[in-house]
A and B are shown apart, each in its own frame.
Chain A
Amino acid sequence: MSPNYLLKRLLMIFYTLFVVSLIVFAITQVLPADAAVMMLGEHATPEALDALRQTMGLNAPVWVQYGHWLWALLQGDFGTSLRTGQPIGPAMFSALGRSLLLAFLSIGLMLILAIPLGIIAAIRRGKVADIVVSLISYLGVALPEFVTATVAVLLLADWLKWLPPTGYVSPTEDFFGAIAHLILPVCVISVILIAHVSRMVRSELVDVLHTDYIRAARLKGMSRGTVLRRHALRNALLPTITIVALDVGYLLGGVIVVEEIFAIPGIGRELIVAIQARDLPVIQAGVLIMAATYSIVNFIADMLYAVLDKRIQYD
């Protein structure tokens, strides 16, 4: 991996964020919401509104507003929320922390379950185990998060009363309470990911098992298990990194729904509240942070792939 490539990839992240900032700014500009009216209420006098617009720079041309916003952003200033009047940055990043906890636990659970399922399905191809895994994965891919979440709450919280239905507890305050509150959301988010990734692992491994070098290793007299561990899995599992990284986009969408349903104060919930209240600065900051998360994860995945697979020479 050349430094040149690294630089190019980093520039890509900045370009991505630039495009996203343009899109977000364009969308929020078209939104029929007047920030001044939102802050002062509908009964404010025209003079007061004008004065506030003046101080907020709302009378300036759009590109000047965009420039001011971008300049403040580059200095780490996300602006203030129209709804709460608080600075957005700190609130958003602590919300992001809770969402990342949810996301990492979901990815962890997914890896623990999806990879073994995919491997079993591939080596028992066409047998009962394979069919069962396929059925599970078709069902998993076809159920939207809000359906799995609602059914899970009905079953495990309402009827069986094993787990708390909704809410969030900070892990530093009450560790076991936090775990209990996180089990359902994490399971719900991982369902679709497990279904998708186990299918991908299966198809990669099936392809690898049909290659000449696997046949050569078997003919050499190596046992099935050794061939699988030493040769097949290494090549079959590498693409999983890329797939998981691309699934992060989907994961972030799922996080929005799941946080809304389970009342978890993460970035997804902040965004939904902001979108419903037309709190423009919060929408802008939230979308940008989500896009940045996605870009950075994909950047890390590319680097990891290059480090693990020596055959890949990026330039």
Chain B
Amino acid sequence: MIEFLKRLLRTPQGAIGLFVVVLVLLIVIFGPMLAPNDPEKMAPLARYKAPSLTYLLGTDQYGRDIFSRLLIGARATVVMAVLATIIGTLVGALIGTTSAFLGGRADEFIMRTVDAVMSIPSLLFALLVVNLLGSSTVNALVAVAIAFAPGMARITRSVALSVRKQDYVNAAMARGESSAFIIRREMLPNVVAPIIVEMTIRISFAIMLFATLSFLGLGAQPPAAEWGLMVSEARRYMHLSAGILIWPSVAIAIASIGFNLLGDGLRDALNPRT
């Protein structure tokens, strides 16, 4: 574990990614305690304030403290993205391994169907599901999870199949190990690593997808401090104060870049080929 962490920190992507992701997770946990002001308190006299000591990043169109809103909004955006990706990955992994395990015509059928589902853009799929279930945060979570499952199924299946063909699996079979042992001790550790890498990178997609859904009015609803929603609400007032648009955009970018970098760092650390 220590060895692995060292390898991760040796690449710039890994080091920066880990730093940003840890920072984002700390904000998710402690953000609401750190927020200097009430994120939903409107102050008509303090609208469009420039950054100052009381309002670190200024105030928005209702006089709410942008910095506090960002700290609290981290939960809405990041936690949802991580949860949706994990659920989507689990469902996808289940479909993928089942398909690889069944093989033959069943595998062909499942994969062709997965391909077919993937021909609907994930944003459109999420829009349809949210519209079907009604716009709310939980429904957006379900929508993103469902939209991610086919892609993860494809990746899991191809990884499982390639691991299955490796010499160390054949060696274990020749040694006469049980299937349970081979799956658990030989295959699983090697299947999990690439999936975790893919999942980390997909969290950044999920963050963007959530923000986009909220932006289109189908995710979090006002007055929630969701980052995408903040950008969407800021659009009408952006010529009055650019800050209310820029800061939530920067927050989305930082969180998303962090997970992206960490994913790349993990890939390099897990795969010491290069």
Contact = CB atoms under 8 A, between A and B. Distances in A.
Interface stretch (B22-30, B56-64, B204-212): B204-212
B9 interface: no
A147 B210 CA distance: 13
Contact of A249 (B121, B127, B128, B234): B121
B260 A249 contact: no
Interface string A118-145: 0000000000000000000011011111
A144 B211 contact: yes
Contacts, number: 128
B268 to A, nearest CB: 12
Contact of A275 (B128, B209, B212): B128
A253 B128 contact: no
A31 B211 contact: no
B132 A30 contact: yes
A257 B120 contact: no
A275 B116 contact: no
Contact of B231 (A15, A19, A146): A146
Interface string A136-166: 0011011111110011001000100000000
Contacts of B242: 154
A295 B119 contact: yes
A139 B257 contact: yes
Contacts of B131: 31, 275-276, 278
Interface residues of B, number: 41
Nearest to A297: B119
Contact of B116 (A20, A143, A145): A20
Interface string A3-33: 0000000001001111110011001001100
B117 interface: yes
Given A30-B132, A272-B216, 18 more contacts: A19-B113, A23-B120, A27-B128, A31-B131, A138-B261, A139-B257, A141-B256, A142-B208, A151-B249, A158-B239, A252-B121, A253-B123, A257-B123, A257-B215, A271-B127, A275-B131, A291-B116, A298-B119
15 contacts: A19-B113, A20-B116, A20-B120, A139-B253, A141-B204, A143-B252, A143-B256, A144-B252, A146-B232, A147-B211, A154-B238, A154-B239, A256-B121, A271-B127, A295-B119
Interface of B: 112-113, 115-124, 127-129, 131-132, 204, 208-209, 211-212, 215-216, 228, 231-232, 234-235, 238-239, 242, 245-246, 249, 252-253, 256-257, 260-261
